[in-house]
Structure 1
Amino acid sequence: MISEGLVTIQELNLEIGRTLIQIARRSIYEKFSLDKLKLDDYNNPILDKKGLAFVTLEEIYDNRTELRGCIGYVEAVAPLKEIVALAAKAAAFSDPRFKPLSKNELDKIIIEVTVLTKPEEIIVNDRWLLPKEITVGKDGLIVEKGILHSGLLLPQVAKEYCWDSETFLAETCIKASLEPDCWLDKSVRIKKFNGIIFREASPNSDNILVINPQNVECKIKSYLLD
């Protein structure tokens, strides 16, 4: 049963995050008949609220990780637990950038679930002022033009790549298959949202990290300092 209202970030905690990670992994394992996911077993009223979420998969190579899939939903069409289950399976097997996950990769995959707030359009009279309305590390972005062009980048992405807000806008335009300066076009809609991250410390781990996107390390800066 779907509870009324949209789940808020403030309602989430470590235990709910651990449950979301478990749902995501069991949804993926189900594809290989290694587990059976029964969403009715998860009857927390928070999980039954409608929610927006992305599931990101990263594969471990030596001492580093590489993106292996990332799919999510920004429309509140189902309970949070169902959204995470669907997103996990899609990230593993339907992300067009990658081949479907294989069974022998399961123990190399770190699962990350980002729960989002409802995207809100940024309205400004002067498009040049858009970067000032975006807080790097807090806001994620969606760029939309018509029905053919849409791109989304999660809040943590700008922090990982050390982008300022203008670069973040440009990169989201590129994600939408538009020109980098598309955000200056008044026919392009720019939306922002917030998020909270739950991430496995290692594959299949019960140690779940709760991460504020503002605390994500800048990979480029770290690389330059090494």
Structure 2
Amino acid sequence: MPALPSVNLTQPEKCHLLALARSTLVDAFNSEPSTNHPDTFHHRSADKAVIELKLGCFVTLTLDGELKGCMGCIEGERPLAKSIPDLATSSAFYDRRFSPLLESQLGRISIEISLLSPLSPLSVRSQAQLEEYLARDHYGLVLKEEGLKAVFLPQVWEQFSNPKSFIDALKVKGGWPEDYWSEKIEVELFKVIHFSDESAQKT
């Protein structure tokens, strides 16, 4: 079953990735790119190795503690140096659940980055069987069926009291009826390491 991503980040490396995301948001409102833009960083060798990793990644924005945008890719097709700025931009301006980020809100935005483990397929015949499995550990979950697809990060478990409500909410997010289940639904599990600029400020 899923293990944590095979990368052990130092606190400076986490701060480096968070700075990458935040500088992208700042640059979106500036006519001239900042000196902290990913293309102009003077990378230390360790930092450079980190940003060249190809991992599934999500960037989550919160405004005054409330979700403001979340976009990601579940498989690492591009290095983090490319995916993190793109996902930060998408979370800020193209998450259709929310209005675009305003420049006046920048100082109140917190950024969280989640790096994903490889996806692990799980064969189940019923939702009850999946619920039983998820009761053992709070994995991230992907559901797929004939063009429909939905993803919940492990952190989303904080909003739910039991596996059934977690799965039902994910089905609704993906476009299935809440009470729907089919053996054709593909199930994939994953874990993450996640860190935010809020936690970075506390260390």
Single out whichever of 127-136 and 184-193 deviates more from structure 2.
127-136
Alignment of 1:182-201 (within 5 A): 182=180, 184-201=181-198
Count how many residue pairs are aligned between Structure 1 and Structure 2: 193
> Matched residues in 2 for 1:208 and 1:9: separation?
25
Query: Residue in 2 aligned with 1:155?
Result: 154
CA deviations on 1:111-134 (whole Å, 9 max, x unpaired) are 111111122221135553112222
> Matched residues in 2 for 1:29 and 1:200: separation?
15
Contact 2:5 2:193 in 1 (8 A): no
The equivalent position to 1:176 in structure 2, one of 150, 170, 174, is 174
Q: Structure 1 residues 22 and 129, CA, compared in 2 at 3 Å: closer, same or farther?
A: same
Contact 1:14 1:208 in 2 (8 A): no
Query: Residue in 1 aligned with 2:26?
Result: 29
TM-score (norm 2): 0.85
Tell me the percent identity: 24
> Matched residues in 2 for 1:14 and 1:180: separation?
40
Q: Structure 1 residues 125 and 176, CA, compared in 2 at 3 Å: closer, same or farther?
A: closer
Q: Any stretches of 5+ residues in structure 2 without a counterpart?
A: none
The equivalent position to 1:167 in structure 2, one of 161, 165, 168, is 165
Q: Structure 1 residues 20 and 146, CA, compared in 2 at 3 Å: closer, same or farther?
A: same
Q: Any stretches of 5+ residues in structure 1 without a counterpart?
A: 1-6, 210-226
CA RMSD of aligned residues (A): 2.3
Taking CA–CA contacts closer than 8 Å with sequence separation of 6 or more, which of the two structures ends up with the larger relative contact order? 2
Contact 1:57 1:70 in 2 (8 A): yes
Contact 2:124 2:183 in 1 (8 A): no
> Matched residues in 1 for 2:137 and 2:194: separation?
12
> Matched residues in 2 for 1:84 and 1:136: separation?
31
Question: Offset at 1:137?
Answer: 6.2
Letter in 2 for 1:175: K
Flag as ranges the 4+ runs of structure 1 deviating above 4 A. none
Q: Structure 1 residues 9 and 199, CA, compared in 2 at 3 Å: closer, same or farther?
A: farther
Contact 1:136 1:164 in 2 (8 A): no
Letter in 2 for 1:157: V
Contact 1:115 1:196 in 2 (8 A): yes
TM-score (norm 1): 0.77
